[in-house]
Each structure stands twice: as C-alpha cells, then as structure tokens.
Amino acid sequence: MILVTGGTGYVGGHLVRALEAAGHRVRCLARRPESLRSRVQERTEVMGGDVLDFESLGPAMRGVHTAYYLVHSMDSASDFRDADRQAAQNFAMAAARAGVRRMIYLGALGSDTDDLSAHLRSRQEVGDVLRASGPPVIEFRASIIIGSGSLSFEMIRALVERLPVMITPRWVTVKAQPIGILDVLDYLVAALNLPEEECRIFEIGGADPVSYGEIMKEYARQRGLRRRMIPVPVLTPWLSSLWLGLVTPLYSKVGRILIESIRHPTVVRDPSALDAFPVRPKGIRASIRDALCQEEEEFSSARWSEILSRIVLPTNRHGVRIGNLLIDTRTVSVPVPPAKAFAPIQRIGGATGWYYGNWLWVLRGYLDVMIGGVGMSRGRRDPVRIQLGDTIDVWRVEGFEPDRRLRLWAGMKLPGRAWLEFEVLPEGSGSRIRQTAVYDPVGLPGILYWYLLHPAHAYVFAGMIRQIAAAALRG
C-alpha cells in the first residue's frame, strides 16, 4: 500500500495517476476527501485527515509500506514555516508508529551554504524533520517544475502572455535547472525500487541550466510571441513581488513567497541521481513543448465537466482559469430525460439559430468577413444530424456523442482559439445541461479581446443556456 499526501495538488494529482497506471495500491490522504474521490480510480482509497492533526493520521497510515509527502503550507494564514515543521513532525511520527517502511519527499534545490529565502529554507527543514522523526527518507530536491498547473510555470506563463515589453530585474539572470513534470514523476515512481534501509538526498533537474529570462524567451518562442526584455538593476525581489501582484493577481499571495527565493541559484550540484535512477531528464525546450502538448491532449480528450472537477485554483461560475485557458461555464437543470434535453443542442445553428442574441452572432459574422474570415453564412449540412467535422455556421464539430456532448471549434478570426461545448448528464429523474465556452488567448491582444467582449459574451451565454432549457421543456 502506498500513501500519497497532497493528492489534490499539482504534483500529487499527477503522481496518483502515475501510480494507478503502474498498478500500485494507492491510498490518498485529504482534508476534504469528497473533493478527491471523483478524480481517482475506484480502487484507490481516499481517507480524511490533516497533517496538522496528529490523531487523524493514524488510520491512513495503517498497512502502508511507502508514504509520499507532498505537502506545503505557503498559503497558510499563519507562519508557513512553523506550519510546515509541525506538519512534517506529525507525519513522520505517525509513520514511525504505524511501521511505515519508507517516506519519499519532494523538496527544493538550494545550497545549504546560501542565505536561503524563507521558502527554500522551509523546504529543506521539512526534509530534516522527516529524517529525524520517522522511517528512512528519500528526498528529491528540484528547481522549477515545468508543467501546465505548476505554480512557477504558470507565473512565468502569465508574465510572458501579458507583457510584450518586460522590465526585468537582476534576478531574471539567476540560473535555475527546470525539470519537466513527466521527469519528476519518473523519479518519484522509480524511488519505490531503491533499498529501504537508508536516507538519501537526490538533486534533480533538467538537462539545461538556464536563467529565468531564458525560460521566458523559450516559452514565448513556442507560443509565437515576440517579447522584449529591458534589464534594470533596481527592482529587488520584494519590489518585483509587488509588481507581480499587479500583473498576475491570481498568484500574488504565494507568488511573493516564491519570488523572494529567485535570488538563489537552484541548479544541480550533485549529479548522483543520474547514477541511481534510469531517468534522463529533458532540456528546457522539450519540457515546455511537452507541457503545452500534454495540456492540449488533456483538453482535446476530456469532457469539460471532468476537467472542471479537478480545478484547484480560485474559480467562480463565470470566470474560471486553467493554465492559459479562460472559461465561462454555466449549468441548468431540466426535468426531462437526457435525450430530450440534448435535442435542442443538436439542432443549434443554421436555420434554428443560436437561441439568444442572434443579432450579435450575425454582427460578429459580418465583422469576421470584413477581416478575411468565413463569417456565419455556411449554415449546416443537415438541420438535425451531426457528425465529426461538420460545419455549423462559423463553427466546426470537434467532438460529438449522441444525447451527451457536442464540442465546437471556432473558425472565426481571433487573437487565439475558442471552443463551445455542451454536455448533458442524468440528474435524478431529469438532466443537467452544462454549457462551456473556452478561450486560449495568444498574448496581450488575446487577453484584451476576452475581457473587452466579456459583457457581450455574458449576455449571450446566459441567455443561450436559458433558451436551450426552455426548448428542451417544450420538446
């Protein structure tokens, strides 16, 4: 039995899926078990508990061979270093009492001789506490993790997407050794095969030591963005953190803690991990490419109801953000079976129209034609039947499940890419209709487009789902 803490987090969530795919018996510890049960396989156990509550850890530890510790307290209302120390001590003592054979911990790179920031020092103190109080520990120390959902990667992405010109302080030249999430997972899973009798610390990083500025430039290159960086010597990490809060307020709270750590190089000094594990990490170009491709594959293959159920970032009903994607999602319940609820969705577009604000759709079509697009004049191949690849006005059918789901891709001229998805799910004796608009903006023009048109989008999307529900009731 393998116990994973932090399963609702970025690395923990990916690790649970990797362990499940490898056939391991997995148990997850979560403060809110109900938020995790729908995201794991049926055979994976989910138990309630809190690493800050020692007594709650005993039941989760019973029968566990290896326990992964992927918890941090940067968003704690109190001193996060105190919370981190107490949580690690509780976890290690509970593991020792339950006879756990080994703990595996993911910490942070940084030289022990440096005057480390509070964040990096806390990450290393946690490793010390685990080693002092519990079973043998395998500690991995990593720099920036490259992946869609990683906090450091998302802050870099937000800055590059929003700012065509960046005033860059000295810390942008500090070296890091970023590593892709897939390589991190390979290390974490491979650690299960190491001997259990001793504690080890492994420094892990990608193939390329690069500066933060070089990471930004590579991300911009792969997104097709032209960015200019103007170096200045006066922006300290503290001032930069205030600036970060203005540009990317979503990450301002923990971002300020992380950015204080950037003055320290986070590069691998001890390459022993390459000898101990059959993992050969990729360079920065491949890691960013993998992150963007993985994001695209997950988006293309999954239903949005499944993706939205895994969101851990702050959300509201009409303003969800996942990575670079901006999302408007709305639901309505109707007392009719799914086939009847889906019928008006299947007739959308063409002669039927878009149920609400049709004049705005027509206006958008004229504007699209004026800038070289296809407009709304293409109609439908058939007024009812749908198949993959069909054209519906300015949209193309990208996904279709009869009586269940319709995903449309926007063929209009946009500073980005857009999709519109409808999904119908059984709900008691009736159905729940979910309507989701997704937009992938490219650079600042794409972001401005979304927010400038938000009032019109809100008007159309709110009316559309109401009228679809009304049409379903009429039959």
Mean pLDDT of 135-139: 94
Distance CA 38, CA 417 (A): 29
Angle between helices 252-259 and 118-133 (to 10 degrees): 80
Judgement on whether residues 113 and 188 belong to the same structural domain of the protein = yes
* Rounded distance between C-alpha atoms, residue 407 and residue 395, angstroms: 9
- pLDDT score recorded for residue 316: 39
Q: Write down the residue that tokens 């500066």 correspond to.
A: 211
Q: Of the residues 299, 332, 348, which one is the last residue of a structural domain?
A: 299
> Which of 72-81, 155-164, 231-240, 417-426 has the highest mean predicted lDDT (pLDDT)?
417-426
Final residue in a domain of this structure, among 267, 299, 331? 299
Q: Is the pLDDT of residue 189 over 80?
A: yes
Least confident of 27-41, 303-317, 435-449: 303-317
Q: Which residue is it, tokens 């940084």?
A: 110
Q: Is 19 in the same domain as 102? A: yes
pLDDT at 370: 85
Q: Please tell me the predicted confidence (pLDDT) of residue 77.
A: 45
Q: Which residue has the higher pLDDT, 418 or 368?
A: 418
Tokens of 199: 């504690």
pLDDT at 233 over 60: yes
58 Cβ neighbours under 8 A, 6+ residues apart: 94, 97, 98
Rounded to an integer, the average pLDDT of 377-387 is 88
Pair type for strands 175-176 and 210-211: antiparallel
- Structural tokens at position 275: 């000898």
pLDDT above 90: residue 254: no
Q: What would the mean pLDDT of 248-276 be, rounded to a whole number?
A: 73
| Residue 139 and residue 194 in one domain | yes
Distance of alpha carbon 107 from alpha carbon 71, whole angstroms: 10
- pLDDT number for residue 121: 82
The answer to whether residue 432 scores a pLDDT higher than 90 is yes
User: Does one domain contain both 224 and 335?
Assistant: no
The verdict on 335 and 263 lying in the same domain is no
**Strand, coil or helix: 68:** strand
CA-to-CA distance for 5 and 130, rounded, in angstroms?
A: 14
Same domain, 36 and 67: yes
Angle at CA of residue 206, ends 202 and 212, nearest 5° = 115
Residue 421 bridge partners (DSSP)? 407, 436
3-state secondary structure of 241: helix
The lowest-confidence range among 89-98, 212-221, 223-232 is 223-232
Is 441 in a helix, a strand, or coil?
strand
What tokens does 183 get? 């390589």
The CATH number assigned to the domain holding 404 equals 3.30.530.20
Residues 85 and 234 in one domain: yes
Q: For the chain, what is the domain count?
A: 2
| Distance in angstroms between the alpha carbons of the first and the last residue of the chain | 52
379 pLDDT higher than 60: yes
Say if residue 276 is in the same domain as residue 310.
Answer: no
- Range with the poorest average pLDDT among 72-81, 224-233, 329-338, 377-386: 72-81
Q: Report which listed range, 19-28, 366-375, 447-456, is most confident.
A: 19-28
Q: pLDDT of 71-104, one tens digit each?
A: 876 554 457 778 889 999 999 999 999 999 999 9
Mean pLDDT, residues 130-135 taken together: 88
The answer to whether residues 335 and 228 belong to one domain is no
Least confident of 40-49, 151-160, 169-178, 232-241: 232-241
Q: Is the pLDDT of residue 267 over 60?
A: yes
Confidence band for 273, pLDDT divided at 50, 70 and 90: very high
The string of DSSP codes covering 316-344 is -TT-EEETTEEEEEEEEEESS-HHHHHHH
Domain that holds residue 439: 303-474
pLDDT for residue 69 is more than 50: yes
Where do runs of H (alpha helix) occur along 248-337? 252-259, 272-276, 284-301, 304-308
Asked if 229 and 252 sit in the same domain, the reply is: yes
Of residues 74, 178, 191, 183, the one with CA closest to residue 121:
74
Residue 447, pLDDT above cutoff 90: no
- Within 10 Å of residue 43's Cβ, how many Cβ atoms? 8
Where a domain ends, among 257, 274, 299? 299
Query: Do 278 and 191 have their domain in common?
Result: yes
- Across 218-222, 291-295, 373-377, least confident range: 373-377
User: pLDDT value at position 155?
Assistant: 80
Averaged over 313-335, what is the pLDDT?
72
The pLDDT score that the predictor gives to residue 39 is: 81
Average pLDDT, the chain: 86
Predicted local distance difference test score (pLDDT) of residue 323: 66
CATH number at residue 238: 3.40.50.720
Q: For 5-26, what is the mean pLDDT?
A: 92
Pair of tokens at residue 62: 């019973």
- Residue 432 shares a structural domain with residue 397: yes
* pLDDT reported for residue 304: 60
Selection from 455, 426, 233 nearest residue 333 by Cα:
426
